[in-house]
Each structure stands twice: as C-alpha cells, then as structure tokens.
C-alpha cells in the first residue's frame, strides 16, 4: 500500500510539474478521442443509411386475375418460411384499387376512367422484403420454380435487378471503406498519442536513469507514468465529450436532411452514458498502453 501510495503521489506530482507538456499531451489525446467518438457516430450514420436503403428495396409478385386468394396466401406462407425473407405483405385486388385511387385522387382523368370500368383491372400481389440485399437473388429463383409459373403474371425482380445489384455493390464498398477508414484513423490516433507520451518520458530520462541506479524496480519506475497516462485519458475523455455535445446539435439536422431515418441527436441522448463510458475506457487504455510501451525502452537500458 505504501508503494502504491508513492506511485500515485509521484504520478500526480509529475503531472502537475510538467504543466505545459501535460497540456499538450492532453490536447493531442483530445483530438484522438474526438476522432474515436466521430468513428462511433460515423458507424451509426452509415448503418442507418444502409438500413434506409434496404427498406426501400423489395420484390413484388403479381398474380393472374383468375388465381384464388387461398393459393396466393399459401405461397405467402411458404415464402415466410424462407430464412432469407424478412416479411411478406399481401395486397388484394380491392386493396390495390383503393390504394391506386388514393394516389390519384387529384387526377380527374384517371378518376373518370376508373368510374367507367365495370371490373377491377388491377392484380393481387405479394410484396416481399428480404433480410439482406444479397438475398433477393435466391428469393427470385425460388419464385421462378415451374410450380409458380402458372399463377404468376409478373415478378419485378427482373426489372429491378440492375438497381438492386448496384445498391448491393455500393453498400458493400461503403461498409468496407468505412471499416478501413476506422482502422486507419484509430491507428493514427494511437500513434500520435503514443509519441507524445514518449516525448514526456524522454524529457525525464535522466531521472529514470538515477532511479535505476539506486535500485528502483521496473514497476515503481513505470507506475507514475502509467498514472499520468490515466490522468491524461480521463481529462481528455471528459473534455472531448463536452466538445462533442454541441457538435452533435449542429451536425444532427444536416444528417437528418440527408438520411431522415437517422436521428443522431436522439441516438446520442439515448446512449449518453454508454458513449461516455467508451470515451473514458478508450482514453484510459490509450494512456496506459502508451505509457507502458514508451517506458519499456528506458527500463531496458
């Protein structure tokens, strides 16, 4: 306990003694943590954008006018049993006509034409939503079975296949690019912080050498710098979090106008403590790891 108390004391004294160096180190760590927090929110926005795109894509199957409703519902049930299918919506002929009239209520020509018709010209259909964009191809192949050719009038996948394939490729590239960017910026932040803390230790290399000569253990020499690293991480995490709060308020409306399904401010409010915890954890781990690695060179001399 005495040794631990001394390590805490020397770490705090070193933190206060090297005021400007501590200030610059915390400044660099704030930038690193801002990048880290930005990456978290970037992943939230990218996932929201991907989900928004996926929700706008589906396959519609139109049935011949003489197909009984029970046959359509049986196909709906078989589709819902597929692992690739998220949900299936049945739209009857009457519902399709009612939806069509509602969409064109302000168009007099279409309204008059429908009023003169004695029969419903629209077809019953199933709207199929897949769990993933990559699954639409297998769903389309399932619908092209010979058993279903006599009852289906049209499957929209063939018409939308080019769009779906392009969206799939775009989303895959977007996710890979976001992952690569996350790794690069995280590595950059770690390296900058590591070198800054190493500079702080380098300025005290003579003191480390004296402590080695009088028989101080490696853990005793390393301890104060680890405490400094923890202090750097806690302070930098708190400051960067406070900086990010108004930035969220400024950026959130712009993102909402681009991707309406993504409420960044709402996500930040709902996960306030979790984001702060991740900030603190990343800052403390970054400070500890950087201090341990940076002192290793001098402890081996």
Q: What is the mean pLDDT of residues 211-240?
A: 79
Contact assessment for residue 30 and residue 93, using Cβ atoms and an 8 Å cutoff: no
pLDDT surpasses 80 at 77: yes
Q: What is the mean pLDDT of residues 157-167?
A: 65
Q: What is the mean pLDDT of residues 242-269?
A: 80
The whole-number pLDDT of residue 26 equals 77
Give tens-digit pLDDT for 248-257. 888 888 777 7
Q: What is the domain partition of the chain in residue ranges?
A: 2-53+171-299, 65-150
Lowest mean pLDDT among 100-109, 136-145, 195-204, 279-288: 195-204
Lowest mean pLDDT among 14-23, 118-127, 244-253: 14-23
- Name the token pair of 7: 């390590």
93/126 Cα distance (integer angstroms): 11
Higher pLDDT, 136 or 207: 136
227: confidence class by pLDDT, cuts 50, 70, 90? confident
Cα–Cα separations (whole angstroms), residue 269 to 34, 99, 276: 17, 38, 11
- Name the token pair of 64: 């011949």
Cα–Cα separations (whole angstroms), residue 217 to 8, 175, 213: 15, 47, 10
pLDDT surpasses 80 at 240: yes
The whole-number pLDDT of residue 13 equals 67
Computed over every residue of the chain, the mean pLDDT equals: 77
Pick the CATH number of 65-150 from 3.30.390.10, 3.40.50.1700, 3.30.70.3040, 1.10.3470.10: 3.30.70.3040
* CA-only gyration radius of the chain, Å: 31
Q: What is the mean pLDDT of residues 203-211?
A: 73
The whole-number pLDDT of residue 94 equals 83
Q: What is the mean pLDDT of residues 9-36?
A: 72
pLDDT surpasses 70 at 19: no
For residue 144, which phi and psi values (nearest 5 degrees)?
-90, 10
263: confidence class by pLDDT, cuts 50, 70, 90? confident
């Amino acid at each position: 306990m005495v040794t631990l108390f001394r390590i805490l004391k020397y770490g705090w004294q070193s933190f206060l003694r090297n005021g400007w160096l501590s200030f610059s180190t915390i400044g660099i760590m704030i930038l690193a943590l801002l990048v880290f927090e930005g990456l978290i929110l970037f992943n939230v926005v990218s996932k929201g954008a991907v989900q928004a795109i996926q929700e706008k894509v589906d396959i519609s199957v139109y049935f011949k006018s003489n197909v009984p409703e029970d046959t359509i519902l049986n196909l709906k049930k078989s589709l819902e049993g597929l692992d690739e299918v998220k949900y299936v919506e049945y739209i009857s002929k009457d519902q399709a006509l009612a939806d069509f009239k509602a969409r064109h209520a302000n168009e007099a020509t279409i309204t008059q034409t429908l009023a003169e018709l004695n029969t419903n010209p629209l077809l019953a259909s199933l709207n199929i939503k897949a769990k993933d964009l990559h699954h639409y191809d297998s769903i389309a192949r399932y619908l092209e079975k010979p058993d279903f050719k006599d009852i289906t009038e049209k499957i929209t996948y063939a018409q939308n296949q080019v769009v779906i394939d392009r969206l799939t490729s775009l989303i895959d590239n977007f996710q890979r690019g976001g992952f690569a960017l996350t790794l690069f910026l995280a590595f950059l932040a770690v390296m900058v912080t590591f070198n800054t803390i190493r500079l702080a230790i380098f300025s005290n290399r003579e003191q480390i050498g004296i402590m080695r000569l009088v028989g101080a253990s490696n853990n005793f020499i390393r301890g104060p710098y680890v405490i400094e690293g923890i202090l750097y991480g806690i302070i930098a995490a708190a400051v960067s979090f406070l900086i990010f709060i108004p930035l969220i308020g400024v950026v959130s409306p712009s993102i909402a106008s681009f991707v309406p399904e993504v409420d960044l401010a709402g996500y930040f409010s709902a996960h306030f403590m979790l984001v702060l915890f991740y900030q603190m954890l990343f800052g403390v781990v970054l400070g500890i790891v950087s201090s341990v690695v940076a002192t290793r060179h001098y402890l081996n001399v």
